[in-house]
Protein backbone atom coordinates (compact mmCIF):
# COMPACT_ATOMS: atom_id res chain seq x y z
CA UNK A 1 0.00 0.00 0.00
CA UNK A 2 1.23 3.51 -0.76
CA UNK A 3 0.89 6.62 1.34
CA UNK A 4 -0.17 9.03 -1.39
CA UNK A 5 -3.40 10.97 -0.95
CA UNK A 6 -3.78 12.71 -4.29
CA UNK A 7 -2.52 15.72 -6.18
CA UNK A 8 -2.75 19.22 -4.77
CA UNK A 9 -2.06 22.60 -6.38
CA UNK A 10 0.93 24.24 -4.74
CA UNK A 11 -0.56 27.68 -5.35
CA UNK A 12 -4.30 27.49 -4.69
CA UNK A 13 -4.61 24.17 -2.85
CA UNK A 14 -7.14 22.66 -5.28
CA UNK A 15 -7.22 18.87 -4.96
CA UNK A 16 -7.15 16.26 -7.73
CA UNK A 17 -7.10 12.49 -7.92
CA UNK A 18 -3.80 10.73 -8.66
CA UNK A 19 -3.84 11.05 -12.46
CA UNK A 20 -1.47 12.02 -15.27
CA UNK A 21 -2.04 15.74 -14.63
CA UNK A 22 0.52 18.44 -13.87
CA UNK A 23 -1.25 21.79 -14.04
CA UNK A 24 -4.08 23.16 -11.90
CA UNK A 25 -7.17 23.88 -13.99
CA UNK A 26 -8.06 26.80 -11.75
CA UNK A 27 -4.80 28.77 -11.63
CA UNK A 28 -2.21 27.00 -13.84
CA UNK A 29 -0.12 26.33 -10.71
CA UNK A 30 1.95 23.14 -10.39
CA UNK A 31 0.30 20.01 -9.03
CA UNK A 32 2.24 18.03 -6.45
CA UNK A 33 1.72 14.68 -4.77
CA UNK A 34 0.41 14.84 -1.22
CA UNK A 35 1.19 12.13 1.33
CA UNK A 36 -0.26 10.95 4.60
CA UNK A 37 2.78 11.99 6.64
CA UNK A 38 1.19 10.92 9.93
CA UNK A 39 0.85 7.36 8.63
CA UNK A 40 4.38 7.42 7.22
CA UNK A 41 5.81 8.74 10.49
CA UNK A 42 4.02 5.95 12.37
CA UNK A 43 5.41 3.17 10.19
CA UNK A 44 8.80 4.30 8.82
CA UNK A 45 12.10 3.66 10.59
CA UNK A 46 15.82 3.94 9.90
CA UNK A 47 16.19 0.20 10.49
CA UNK A 48 13.53 -0.71 7.95
CA UNK A 49 15.16 1.52 5.34
CA UNK A 50 18.61 0.11 6.07
CA UNK A 51 17.28 -3.42 5.46
CA UNK A 52 15.82 -2.36 2.11
CA UNK A 53 17.26 -2.76 -1.38
CA UNK A 54 20.45 -0.92 -2.38
CA UNK A 55 18.40 1.35 -4.65
CA UNK A 56 16.16 4.41 -4.37
CA UNK A 57 13.29 2.03 -3.61
CA UNK A 58 14.48 1.62 -0.02
CA UNK A 59 12.61 4.94 0.44
CA UNK A 60 9.44 3.64 -1.19
CA UNK A 61 7.14 5.00 1.53
CA UNK A 62 8.19 8.54 0.56
CA UNK A 63 7.75 7.98 -3.18
CA UNK A 64 4.45 8.35 -5.11
CA UNK A 65 3.66 4.74 -5.99
CA UNK A 66 1.05 2.25 -4.88
CA UNK A 67 1.37 -1.53 -5.15
CA UNK A 68 2.40 -1.65 -8.80
CA UNK A 69 5.62 -3.40 -9.92
CA UNK A 70 8.60 -1.07 -10.22
CA UNK A 71 10.39 -0.33 -13.50
CA UNK A 72 13.77 -0.90 -11.95
CA UNK A 73 17.30 -0.55 -13.34
CA UNK A 74 18.74 -0.58 -9.79
CA UNK A 75 19.11 3.17 -9.58
CA UNK A 76 20.56 4.98 -6.59
CA UNK A 77 22.61 4.27 -3.47
CA UNK A 78 25.49 5.98 -5.24
CA UNK A 79 28.66 6.81 -3.29
CA UNK A 80 28.98 9.74 -0.90
CA UNK A 81 32.72 10.34 -0.95
CA UNK A 82 34.68 12.27 1.64
CA UNK A 83 36.65 14.71 -0.52
CA UNK A 84 39.74 15.50 1.53
CA UNK A 85 41.94 16.37 -1.46
CA UNK A 86 39.45 18.78 -3.01
CA UNK A 87 38.58 20.09 0.46
CA UNK A 88 42.23 20.90 1.11
CA UNK A 89 42.39 22.97 -2.09
CA UNK A 90 39.25 24.87 -1.14
CA UNK A 91 39.80 25.21 2.59
CA UNK A 92 36.87 22.96 3.55
CA UNK A 93 37.56 20.31 6.17
CA UNK A 94 34.28 18.35 5.90
CA UNK A 95 33.54 18.27 2.20
CA UNK A 96 31.65 15.38 0.57
CA UNK A 97 30.80 14.60 -3.05
CA UNK A 98 27.57 12.83 -3.92
CA UNK A 99 28.82 10.95 -6.95
CA UNK A 100 25.69 10.40 -9.05
CA UNK A 101 27.68 9.80 -12.24
CA UNK A 102 27.43 6.04 -11.64
CA UNK A 103 23.71 5.44 -12.07
CA UNK A 104 22.50 2.98 -14.76
CA UNK A 105 22.48 5.64 -17.50
CA UNK A 106 25.23 7.71 -15.88
CA UNK A 107 23.24 10.65 -14.51
CA UNK A 108 20.84 11.41 -11.66
CA UNK A 109 17.95 11.34 -14.15
CA UNK A 110 17.45 7.63 -13.50
CA UNK A 111 15.99 8.63 -10.12
CA UNK A 112 13.00 10.61 -11.37
CA UNK A 113 12.54 8.26 -14.32
CA UNK A 114 12.27 5.02 -12.32
CA UNK A 115 9.35 6.68 -10.52
CA UNK A 116 7.80 8.18 -13.65
CA UNK A 117 8.12 4.99 -15.72
CA UNK A 118 6.57 2.97 -12.91
CA UNK A 119 3.61 5.37 -12.75
CA UNK A 120 3.32 5.57 -16.55
CA UNK A 121 2.89 1.82 -16.76
CA UNK A 122 0.43 1.81 -13.86
CA UNK A 123 -1.64 4.52 -15.57
CA UNK A 124 -1.83 2.28 -18.64
CA UNK A 125 0.32 4.28 -21.06
CA UNK A 126 2.06 2.37 -23.84
CA UNK A 127 4.37 5.20 -25.00
CA UNK A 128 6.74 7.07 -22.73
CA UNK A 129 8.30 10.36 -23.85
CA UNK A 130 10.22 13.41 -22.68
CA UNK A 131 11.66 16.80 -23.54
CA UNK A 132 15.34 16.57 -22.73
CA UNK A 133 18.72 18.25 -22.80
CA UNK A 134 20.18 14.75 -23.19
CA UNK A 135 20.55 12.99 -19.86
CA UNK A 136 16.82 12.60 -19.31
CA UNK A 137 16.32 11.13 -22.76
CA UNK A 138 18.89 8.40 -22.02
CA UNK A 139 17.21 7.55 -18.73
CA UNK A 140 13.75 7.44 -20.31
CA UNK A 141 14.91 5.31 -23.24
CA UNK A 142 16.63 2.79 -20.95
CA UNK A 143 13.63 2.45 -18.65
CA UNK A 144 11.32 2.12 -21.66
CA UNK A 145 13.49 -0.75 -22.90
CA UNK A 146 13.27 -2.49 -19.52
CA UNK A 147 9.51 -1.90 -19.31
CA UNK A 148 8.80 -2.99 -22.91
CA UNK A 149 7.24 0.39 -23.65
CA UNK A 150 7.44 2.46 -26.82
CA UNK A 151 9.61 5.52 -26.41
CA UNK A 152 9.86 8.88 -28.20
CA UNK A 153 12.38 11.43 -26.95
CA UNK A 154 12.76 15.05 -28.06
CA UNK A 155 16.16 16.75 -27.87
CA UNK A 156 17.86 19.85 -29.30
CA UNK A 157 19.49 18.78 -32.56
CA UNK A 158 22.89 20.21 -31.53
CA UNK A 159 23.56 17.92 -28.55
CA UNK A 160 27.01 16.53 -27.86
CA UNK A 161 27.71 13.41 -30.02
CA UNK A 162 28.29 11.18 -26.97
CA UNK A 163 24.94 12.16 -25.50
CA UNK A 164 23.15 11.18 -28.71
CA UNK A 165 24.84 7.76 -28.70
CA UNK A 166 23.94 7.38 -25.02
CA UNK A 167 20.30 7.88 -25.95
CA UNK A 168 19.91 6.17 -29.31
CA UNK A 169 21.54 2.90 -28.26
CA UNK A 170 18.43 1.96 -26.24
CA UNK A 171 16.30 2.06 -29.38
CA UNK A 172 13.89 4.96 -28.89
CA UNK A 173 12.59 7.24 -31.63
CA UNK A 174 14.89 10.26 -31.25
CA UNK A 175 13.38 13.51 -32.52
CA UNK A 176 15.96 16.28 -32.92
CA UNK A 177 14.40 19.74 -32.77
CA UNK A 178 16.08 22.65 -34.51
CA UNK A 179 16.57 25.07 -31.63
CA UNK A 180 17.35 24.90 -27.95
CA UNK A 181 15.79 23.05 -25.04
CA UNK A 182 13.20 25.77 -24.47
CA UNK A 183 11.90 25.23 -28.01
CA UNK A 184 11.84 21.46 -27.41
CA UNK A 185 9.99 21.96 -24.16
CA UNK A 186 7.37 24.29 -25.61
CA UNK A 187 6.59 21.89 -28.45
CA UNK A 188 6.41 18.92 -26.08
CA UNK A 189 4.06 20.75 -23.71
CA UNK A 190 1.74 21.25 -26.69
CA UNK A 191 2.10 17.64 -27.85
CA UNK A 192 1.46 16.30 -24.32
CA UNK A 193 -1.73 18.34 -24.26
CA UNK A 194 -3.10 16.70 -27.41
CA UNK A 195 -1.76 13.16 -27.58
CA UNK A 196 -1.89 10.28 -25.13
CA UNK A 197 1.76 9.80 -24.34
CA UNK A 198 3.37 9.75 -20.92
CA UNK A 199 5.76 12.71 -21.02
CA UNK A 200 7.70 12.05 -17.85
CA UNK A 201 8.57 15.70 -17.24
CA UNK A 202 5.27 17.20 -18.40
CA UNK A 203 2.05 15.31 -17.68
CA UNK A 204 3.82 12.95 -15.25
CA UNK A 205 5.88 15.75 -13.70
CA UNK A 206 4.33 15.51 -10.20
CA UNK A 207 5.54 11.88 -9.92
CA UNK A 208 8.78 12.31 -11.83
CA UNK A 209 10.01 15.20 -9.70
CA UNK A 210 9.56 13.18 -6.51
CA UNK A 211 12.31 10.76 -7.54
CA UNK A 212 14.94 13.45 -7.07
CA UNK A 213 14.16 13.62 -3.34
CA UNK A 214 16.19 10.42 -3.01
CA UNK A 215 19.35 12.50 -3.50
CA UNK A 216 18.58 14.09 -0.13
CA UNK A 217 17.47 10.83 1.51
CA UNK A 218 20.68 9.02 0.57
CA UNK A 219 22.97 11.83 1.68
CA UNK A 220 21.27 12.04 5.07
CA UNK A 221 21.47 8.27 5.56
CA UNK A 222 25.10 8.13 4.39
CA UNK A 223 26.04 10.90 6.86
CA UNK A 224 24.61 8.77 9.68
CA UNK A 225 21.08 10.16 9.54
CA UNK A 226 21.72 13.86 9.60
CA UNK A 227 21.43 16.69 7.10
CA UNK A 228 24.60 18.47 6.00
CA UNK A 229 25.03 22.16 6.85
CA UNK A 230 25.13 23.25 3.21
CA UNK A 231 24.81 21.72 -0.25
CA UNK A 232 25.61 22.84 -3.79
CA UNK A 233 23.25 21.68 -6.57
CA UNK A 234 23.68 22.17 -10.33
CA UNK A 235 20.48 23.77 -11.58
CA UNK A 236 18.62 24.04 -14.87
CA UNK A 237 14.81 23.92 -14.48
CA UNK A 238 15.08 23.92 -10.69
CA UNK A 239 13.21 20.64 -10.20
CA UNK A 240 16.28 18.90 -8.72
CA UNK A 241 17.14 21.83 -6.45
CA UNK A 242 13.66 22.17 -4.96
CA UNK A 243 13.22 18.41 -4.51
CA UNK A 244 16.53 17.98 -2.69
CA UNK A 245 15.40 20.68 -0.25
CA UNK A 246 12.06 18.97 0.16
CA UNK A 247 13.73 15.58 0.67
CA UNK A 248 15.62 16.84 3.72
CA UNK A 249 12.49 18.55 5.02
CA UNK A 250 10.45 15.35 4.66
CA UNK A 251 13.02 13.31 6.59
CA UNK A 252 12.67 15.78 9.46
CA UNK A 253 8.87 15.78 9.14
CA UNK A 254 8.66 11.99 9.50
CA UNK A 255 11.19 11.92 12.34
CA UNK A 256 14.17 10.28 10.60
CA UNK A 257 16.52 13.24 11.13
CA UNK A 258 16.38 15.95 13.76
CA UNK A 259 17.30 19.08 11.87
CA UNK A 260 15.81 19.92 8.54
CA UNK A 261 17.06 21.67 5.48
CA UNK A 262 20.67 22.61 4.83
CA UNK A 263 21.58 25.99 3.33
CA UNK A 264 20.75 25.38 -0.31
CA UNK A 265 23.41 26.54 -2.78
CA UNK A 266 22.30 26.86 -6.41
CA UNK A 267 24.83 26.55 -9.24
CA UNK A 268 24.30 27.67 -12.84
CA UNK A 269 26.46 28.27 -15.87
CA UNK A 270 27.01 31.99 -16.49
CA UNK A 271 25.79 31.47 -20.06
CA UNK A 272 22.40 30.36 -18.72
CA UNK A 273 21.80 31.80 -15.26
CA UNK A 274 18.29 33.27 -15.10
CA UNK A 275 17.80 32.06 -11.52
CA UNK A 276 21.12 33.47 -10.29
CA UNK A 277 20.33 36.77 -12.02
CA UNK A 278 16.99 37.04 -10.22
CA UNK A 279 18.67 36.08 -6.92
CA UNK A 280 21.31 38.78 -7.37
CA UNK A 281 18.60 41.33 -8.18
CA UNK A 282 16.69 40.23 -5.05
CA UNK A 283 13.67 39.44 -7.24
CA UNK A 284 11.26 36.51 -7.37
CA UNK A 285 10.57 37.06 -11.07
CA UNK A 286 12.58 35.03 -13.56
CA UNK A 287 13.49 36.74 -16.83
CA UNK A 288 14.09 34.01 -19.40
CA UNK A 289 17.37 33.98 -21.33
CA UNK A 290 18.74 32.47 -24.54
CA UNK A 291 21.34 29.98 -23.28
CA UNK A 292 24.93 29.98 -24.50
CA UNK A 293 27.08 27.58 -22.49
CA UNK A 294 29.04 24.36 -22.83
CA UNK A 295 26.94 23.00 -19.94
CA UNK A 296 24.18 21.90 -22.30
CA UNK A 297 22.50 19.70 -19.71
CA UNK A 298 21.84 22.92 -17.76
CA UNK A 299 20.86 25.04 -20.78
CA UNK A 300 17.27 25.82 -19.83
CA UNK A 301 16.60 29.53 -20.31
CA UNK A 302 13.04 29.46 -19.00
CA UNK A 303 13.22 27.39 -15.77
CA UNK A 304 9.82 26.10 -14.67
CA UNK A 305 10.79 25.83 -11.00
CA UNK A 306 12.87 29.02 -10.95
CA UNK A 307 10.39 30.89 -8.75
CA UNK A 308 10.38 28.08 -6.19
CA UNK A 309 14.18 27.88 -6.25
CA UNK A 310 14.35 31.55 -5.29
CA UNK A 311 11.93 30.95 -2.44
CA UNK A 312 13.94 27.93 -1.27
CA UNK A 313 17.19 29.93 -1.25
CA UNK A 314 15.52 32.59 0.91
CA UNK A 315 13.91 30.07 3.26
CA UNK A 316 17.15 28.17 3.86
CA UNK A 317 19.46 31.21 4.00
CA UNK A 318 21.15 29.72 0.95
CA UNK A 319 23.13 31.20 -1.90
CA UNK A 320 23.46 31.11 -5.69
CA UNK A 321 26.36 31.52 -8.07
CA UNK A 322 27.41 31.05 -11.66
CA UNK A 323 30.62 30.20 -13.50
CA UNK A 324 31.99 30.81 -17.00
CA UNK A 325 32.68 28.07 -19.54
CA UNK A 326 36.39 28.31 -18.69
CA UNK A 327 35.63 27.89 -14.98
CA UNK A 328 33.41 24.90 -15.82
CA UNK A 329 36.30 23.15 -17.59
CA UNK A 330 38.62 24.06 -14.68
CA UNK A 331 36.07 22.59 -12.28
CA UNK A 332 35.86 19.33 -14.23
CA UNK A 333 39.65 19.02 -14.26
CA UNK A 334 39.98 19.96 -10.58
CA UNK A 335 37.47 17.29 -9.56
CA UNK A 336 39.15 14.64 -11.70
CA UNK A 337 42.65 15.58 -10.55
CA UNK A 338 41.84 15.71 -6.82
CA UNK A 339 39.16 13.07 -6.31
CA UNK A 340 39.34 10.75 -9.30
CA UNK A 341 35.84 11.56 -10.50
CA UNK A 342 35.19 12.42 -14.15
CA UNK A 343 32.04 14.53 -14.29
CA UNK A 344 30.22 16.08 -17.21
CA UNK A 345 30.07 19.84 -17.70
CA UNK A 346 27.28 20.24 -15.11
CA UNK A 347 29.68 18.74 -12.55
CA UNK A 348 32.16 21.43 -13.49
CA UNK A 349 29.44 23.96 -12.73
CA UNK A 350 28.92 22.43 -9.27
CA UNK A 351 32.63 22.44 -8.46
CA UNK A 352 33.18 25.93 -9.87
CA UNK A 353 30.39 27.43 -7.78
CA UNK A 354 31.52 25.46 -4.71
CA UNK A 355 34.98 26.96 -5.15
CA UNK A 356 33.59 30.49 -5.49
CA UNK A 357 31.39 30.06 -2.42
CA UNK A 358 34.32 28.73 -0.39
CA UNK A 359 36.59 31.59 -1.44
CA UNK A 360 33.84 34.14 -0.74
CA UNK A 361 33.41 32.83 2.80
CA UNK A 362 29.86 31.61 2.18
CA UNK A 363 30.91 28.21 3.55
CA UNK A 364 32.48 27.76 6.98
CA UNK A 365 35.72 25.70 6.87
CA UNK A 366 34.42 23.23 9.48
CA UNK A 367 30.83 22.76 8.41
CA UNK A 368 29.64 19.69 6.53
CA UNK A 369 29.23 20.54 2.86
CA UNK A 370 27.87 18.20 0.18
CA UNK A 371 28.35 18.98 -3.51
CA UNK A 372 26.14 17.13 -5.98
CA UNK A 373 27.85 15.79 -9.11
CA UNK A 374 25.04 14.51 -11.29
CA UNK A 375 26.36 13.38 -14.68
CA UNK A 376 29.25 11.35 -16.07
CA UNK A 377 32.21 12.90 -17.89
CA UNK A 378 32.00 10.39 -20.74
CA UNK A 379 28.81 12.20 -21.82
CA UNK A 380 30.73 15.38 -22.63
CA UNK A 381 34.36 14.37 -23.23
CA UNK A 382 34.87 17.11 -25.83
CA UNK A 383 34.74 19.74 -23.07
CA UNK A 384 38.11 18.65 -21.70
CA UNK A 385 39.55 16.95 -24.81
CA UNK A 386 42.17 19.61 -25.49
CA UNK A 387 43.54 19.13 -21.96
CA UNK A 388 43.34 15.33 -22.04
CA UNK A 389 45.79 13.97 -24.58
CA UNK A 390 48.65 11.50 -24.81
CA UNK A 391 51.51 13.04 -22.83
CA UNK A 392 54.25 11.76 -25.16
CA UNK A 393 54.70 9.13 -27.85
CA UNK A 394 57.87 7.04 -28.17
CA UNK A 395 59.12 3.92 -29.92
CA UNK A 396 59.17 0.67 -27.95
CA UNK A 397 62.77 1.24 -27.04
CA UNK A 398 64.33 1.39 -23.55
CA UNK A 399 66.82 4.12 -24.35
CA UNK A 400 64.11 6.34 -25.79
CA UNK A 401 61.96 5.61 -22.75
CA UNK A 402 64.70 6.56 -20.30
CA UNK A 403 65.67 9.77 -22.04
CA UNK A 404 62.10 10.97 -22.38
CA UNK A 405 61.24 10.08 -18.77
CA UNK A 406 64.30 11.95 -17.52
CA UNK A 407 63.06 15.02 -19.36
CA UNK A 408 59.78 14.72 -17.43
CA UNK A 409 61.59 13.93 -14.13
CA UNK A 410 59.42 10.86 -13.66
CA UNK A 411 61.99 8.08 -13.20
CA UNK A 412 62.35 6.57 -9.75
CA UNK A 413 64.91 3.94 -8.74
CA UNK A 414 63.77 0.44 -7.70
CA UNK A 415 63.26 0.50 -3.91
CA UNK A 416 66.17 -1.13 -2.08
CA UNK B 1 -6.72 34.34 -42.96
CA UNK B 2 -6.58 35.04 -39.28
CA UNK B 3 -4.50 34.36 -36.19
CA UNK B 4 -4.64 30.84 -34.84
CA UNK B 5 -4.74 30.58 -31.04
CA UNK B 6 -3.75 27.31 -29.38
CA UNK B 7 -5.54 26.76 -26.08
CA UNK B 8 -4.19 24.41 -23.37
CA UNK B 9 -6.40 21.96 -21.50
CA UNK B 10 -6.78 24.05 -18.32
CA UNK B 11 -8.36 26.86 -20.39
CA UNK B 12 -10.75 24.73 -22.40
CA UNK B 13 -13.43 24.86 -19.74
CA UNK B 14 -13.94 28.52 -20.73
CA UNK B 15 -13.69 27.91 -24.48
CA UNK B 16 -16.41 25.29 -24.56
CA UNK B 17 -13.80 22.58 -25.02
CA UNK B 18 -12.22 24.17 -28.09
CA UNK B 19 -8.45 23.66 -28.43
CA UNK B 20 -7.97 25.93 -31.45
CA UNK B 21 -9.46 29.40 -31.79
CA UNK B 22 -9.22 32.14 -34.39
CA UNK B 23 -8.78 35.86 -33.82
CA UNK B 24 -8.02 39.00 -35.81
CA UNK B 25 -6.74 41.47 -33.18
CA UNK B 26 -3.51 43.41 -33.89
CA UNK B 27 -1.68 42.62 -30.62
CA UNK B 28 -1.50 39.83 -28.05
CA UNK B 29 -3.32 41.93 -25.45
CA UNK B 30 -6.04 42.88 -27.92
CA UNK B 31 -6.34 39.24 -28.91
CA UNK B 32 -7.02 38.25 -25.30
CA UNK B 33 -9.64 41.02 -25.19
CA UNK B 34 -11.24 39.72 -28.37
CA UNK B 35 -11.39 36.20 -26.95
CA UNK B 36 -12.78 37.55 -23.67
CA UNK B 37 -15.85 38.88 -25.51
CA UNK B 38 -16.40 35.45 -27.09
CA UNK B 39 -15.54 33.45 -23.99
CA UNK B 40 -16.17 35.45 -20.80
CA UNK B 41 -13.52 34.67 -18.19
CA UNK B 42 -10.79 33.96 -20.74
CA UNK B 43 -8.65 37.01 -19.91
CA UNK B 44 -8.85 36.50 -16.14
CA UNK B 45 -7.44 33.03 -16.52
CA UNK B 46 -4.42 34.23 -18.48
CA UNK B 47 -3.72 37.62 -16.91
CA UNK B 48 -3.16 38.78 -13.33
CA UNK B 49 -5.30 41.55 -11.86
CA UNK B 50 -2.43 43.95 -12.57
CA UNK B 51 -2.65 43.09 -16.25
CA UNK B 52 0.56 41.03 -16.45
CA UNK B 53 0.66 37.48 -17.79
CA UNK B 54 0.19 35.02 -14.92
CA UNK B 55 3.36 33.58 -13.38
CA UNK B 56 2.47 30.04 -14.45
CA UNK B 57 1.45 30.88 -18.02
CA UNK B 58 3.80 31.29 -20.97
CA UNK B 59 2.67 32.96 -24.20
CA UNK B 60 4.40 32.34 -27.53
CA UNK B 61 3.96 33.96 -30.94
CA UNK B 62 5.20 31.70 -33.75
CA UNK B 63 7.20 29.74 -31.18
CA UNK B 64 8.92 32.74 -29.58
CA UNK B 65 8.25 33.65 -25.94
CA UNK B 66 6.61 37.11 -25.93
CA UNK B 67 9.05 38.13 -23.16
CA UNK B 68 11.69 38.16 -25.92
CA UNK B 69 9.35 40.21 -28.15
CA UNK B 70 7.20 43.16 -27.06
CA UNK B 71 5.36 41.34 -24.30
CA UNK B 72 1.60 41.80 -24.42
CA UNK B 73 2.08 44.57 -27.01
CA UNK B 74 3.64 42.09 -29.46
CA UNK B 75 2.08 42.70 -32.87
CA UNK B 76 0.04 39.98 -34.56
CA UNK B 77 -0.74 39.55 -38.21
CA UNK B 78 -2.77 37.17 -40.28
CA UNK B 79 -1.20 33.70 -40.33
CA UNK B 80 0.49 34.05 -36.93
CA UNK B 81 0.17 31.34 -34.35
CA UNK B 82 -0.31 32.30 -30.72
CA UNK B 83 0.25 29.53 -28.17
CA UNK B 84 -0.74 29.64 -24.54
CA UNK B 85 1.29 27.04 -22.65
CA UNK B 86 1.39 26.14 -18.94
CA UNK B 87 4.75 27.23 -17.53
CA UNK B 88 5.13 24.22 -15.25
CA UNK B 89 6.57 21.87 -17.83
CA UNK B 90 9.87 20.21 -18.43
CA UNK B 91 13.12 20.07 -16.59
**ipTM, two decimals:** 0.94
Is there a domain that residue A183 lies in?
A: no
Smallest Cα–Cα separation from A401: which of A390, A393, A391, A389?
A393
A133 to chain B: closest CA residue: B91
Query: In a 3-state reduction of DSSP, which class is residue A139?
Result: helix
B55 to chain A, any CB pair closer than 8 A? The answer is: yes
- Cβ contact (<8 Å) for B10 and A28? yes
Q: Where are the domains of chain B?
A: 3-86
B10 to chain A, any CB pair closer than 8 A? The answer is: yes
- Cβ contact (<8 Å) for B57 and A185? no
**A178 Cβ neighbours under 8 A, 6+ residues apart:** A157
Report the residue count for chain A: 416
Q: How far apart are CA A414 and CA A392, in angstroms?
A: 23
Is there a domain that residue A26 lies in?
A: no
Residue B83 with chain A: CB contacts under 8 Å? 186, 190
Is there a domain that residue A169 lies in?
A: no
Is there a domain that residue A163 lies in?
A: no
B90, A201 Cβ separation under 8 angstroms: yes
pTM for this prediction: 0.96
- Cβ contact (<8 Å) for B90 and A131? yes
The domain defined by B3-86 folds into Ubiquitin-like (UB roll) (3.10.20)
Is there a domain that residue A117 lies in?
A: no
From residue A154, give the alpha-carbon distance in Å to each of A104, A187, A207, A289: 20, 9, 20, 21
- Cβ contact (<8 Å) for A300 and B91? yes
In angstroms, what separates the C-alpha of B26 from chain A's closest C-alpha? 24
- Cβ contact (<8 Å) for B56 and A205? no
Is there a domain that residue A145 lies in?
A: no
The pLDDT tens digits along chain A (416 residues) read: 689 999 999 999 999 999 999 999 989 999 999 999 999 999 999 999 999 999 999 999 999 999 999 999 999 999 999 999 999 999 999 999 999 999 999 999 999 999 999 999 999 999 999 999 999 999 999 999 999 999 999 999 999 999 999 999 999 999 999 999 999 999 999 999 999 999 999 999 999 999 999 999 999 999 999 999 999 999 999 999 999 999 999 999 999 999 778 999 999 999 999 999 999 999 999 999 999 999 999 999 999 999 999 999 999 999 999 999 999 999 999 999 999 999 999 999 999 999 999 999 999 999 999 999 999 999 999 999 999 999 889 999 999 999 988 887 778 878 87
CATH number of the domain enclosing A244: 3.40.50.1100
Is there a domain that residue A100 lies in?
A: yes
- Nearest 5°: the CA angle B13, B16, B18 is 95
B83 to chain A, any CB pair closer than 8 A? The answer is: yes
For residue A85, give its domain range.
80-106+210-386
Q: How many domains does chain A have?
A: 1
Amino acid sequence: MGYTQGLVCRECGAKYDLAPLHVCEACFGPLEVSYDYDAIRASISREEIERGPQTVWRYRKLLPVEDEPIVDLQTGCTPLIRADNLGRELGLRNLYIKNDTVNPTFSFKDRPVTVAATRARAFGFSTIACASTGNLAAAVAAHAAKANMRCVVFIPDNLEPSKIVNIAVYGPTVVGIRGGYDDVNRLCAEIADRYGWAFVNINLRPYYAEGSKTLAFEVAEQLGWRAPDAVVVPTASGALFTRIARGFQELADVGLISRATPRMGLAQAAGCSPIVSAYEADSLTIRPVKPSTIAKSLAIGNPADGYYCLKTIKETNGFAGSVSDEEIVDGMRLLARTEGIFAETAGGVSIGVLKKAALAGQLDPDETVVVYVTGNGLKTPEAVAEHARITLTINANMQEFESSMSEHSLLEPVPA
Amino acid sequence: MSIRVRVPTPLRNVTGGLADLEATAPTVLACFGELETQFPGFSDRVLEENGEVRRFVNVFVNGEDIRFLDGLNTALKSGDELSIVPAMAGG
